[in-house]
Amino acid sequence: MPRRPRVLSGAQPTADSYHLGNYFGAFKQWVALQDEFEAFYFIPDLHAITVEYEPAQLRERTYIAAAQLLAAGVDPERSALFVQSHVPEHAQLAWVLGGVTGFGEAGRMTQFKDKTAKSGRDAASVGLFTYPVLMAADILVYQADKVPVGEDQRQHIELTRNLAQRFNHRFGETFTVPEPYIVKATAKVYDLQDPTAKMSGSATSHSGVVNLTDEPKAAAKKIRSAVTDSGSDVRFDPATKPGISNLLSIYSALTERPITDIETEFEGQQYGHFKVALADLVADFVDSFGSRTRELLDDKGELDRVLAAGAATAREVAATTLATVYDRSGFVPAAHP
């Protein structure tokens, strides 16, 4: 029987909460794809250690990440939800792929350039440099067909495709070449204070970032204080009205209504009215999201159980791919004593 196509994605546990950009750019799609695809969703803790971090904080953030992904609607009955470090095949495959990745090719990754822009390359870890190779391994070890992500990950998936094709060409057909799955309307949610920059957990100021477990009042305030232009009509025009367009995209994603519909509803009204309406919606959203997350976090034993079951499912698939890769690579099989 032909297998269902596979979908895979991950989101780093590098903040105390995921934010609206992660939710609309990625998680909403993860949840929607669970029926049609065999789904693998994971928390990339190995990626998280490529920048400075605190071990105790990473452990706590990994649990928060798991709780939030469940709260977002990842269903462990239908998807394998797991922690990257529980499946050692990711790191093992990354090493092999490192052998077919060009130094220059890795050096062209814009995320690496962005992350090292301030302190310089010499201050960065080798892990941060080879980060995209591990990401390629994450995807290829499951023979994933589709990878739902935001726009900022497109280049990494392009690299993954190149590595898969190169390996297949040199060593024989081994990997499925994956496709990015990027939903245009929410591919890039922008910072509320700087609507030309993406909303990011590592932003210097948090006033432009709505976290999924913000206090409802705080989240509402962030929306009401969002930077907008000096005009007054609520109209989608990212080139001249980036702030209001970003808010319209968020409104549309939250309500699942087309943007034109929302423009019509607020025709002739000031920005203030529109912002208050959106602030209320966002407050309700984080309110219920926060309480679901807290409930799940209260039972770490149950989270451990879900993650262990996810890792067991994932390992079966990952081990099969890795065995083929080792064989194609010319490694002598380990004899059983």
Q: Residues in the site for ligand TYM, rule: CB under 6 A?
A: 8-12, 21-22, 25-26, 44, 47, 135, 138-139, 147, 149-150, 152-153, 188-189, 198-200
For residue 285, the minimal CB distance to ligand TYM (Å) is: 16
| Backbone dihedral angles phi then psi of residue 81, each to the nearest 5 degrees | -110, 125
The DSSP code sequence of 284-314 is HHHHHHHHHHHHHHT-HHHHHHHHHHHHHHH
Choose between 183 and 327: whose C-beta lies nearer to ligand TYM.
Answer: 183
* Count of CA atoms in the C-beta half-sphere (13 A) of 72: 32
For residue 186, the minimal CB distance to ligand TYM (Å) is: 6
Choose between 266 and 310: whose C-beta lies nearer to ligand TYM.
Answer: 310
For residue 131, the minimal CB distance to ligand TYM (Å) is: 7
269/232 Cα distance (integer angstroms)? 8
Choose between 93 and 266: whose C-beta lies nearer to ligand TYM.
Answer: 93
For residue 135, the minimal CB distance to ligand TYM (Å) is: 4
Choose between 199 and 266: whose C-beta lies nearer to ligand TYM.
Answer: 199
Choose between 63 and 266: whose C-beta lies nearer to ligand TYM.
Answer: 63
Residues 181, 182, 185, 191: is their CA dihedral positive or negative?
Answer: positive
| 148: alpha, beta or left? (left if phi > 0; alpha if psi -120 to 50) | beta
Choose between 213 and 266: whose C-beta lies nearer to ligand TYM.
Answer: 213
Choose between 47 and 241: whose C-beta lies nearer to ligand TYM.
Answer: 47
Q: Name the residue number minimizing CB distance to ligand TYM.
A: 25
From 40, 54, 52, 53, select the one nearest 11 (Cα to Cα): 40
Residues in CB range of 206: below 8 A, 6 or more apart = none
For residue 123, the minimal CB distance to ligand TYM (Å) is: 19
103/337 Cα distance (integer angstroms)? 39
Extract the tokens encoding 117: 């822009």
| 268: alpha, beta or left? (left if phi > 0; alpha if psi -120 to 50) | left
For residue 149, the minimal CB distance to ligand TYM (Å) is: 3
For residue 302, the minimal CB distance to ligand TYM (Å) is: 24
Cα Rg for the chain, rounded, in angstroms? 21
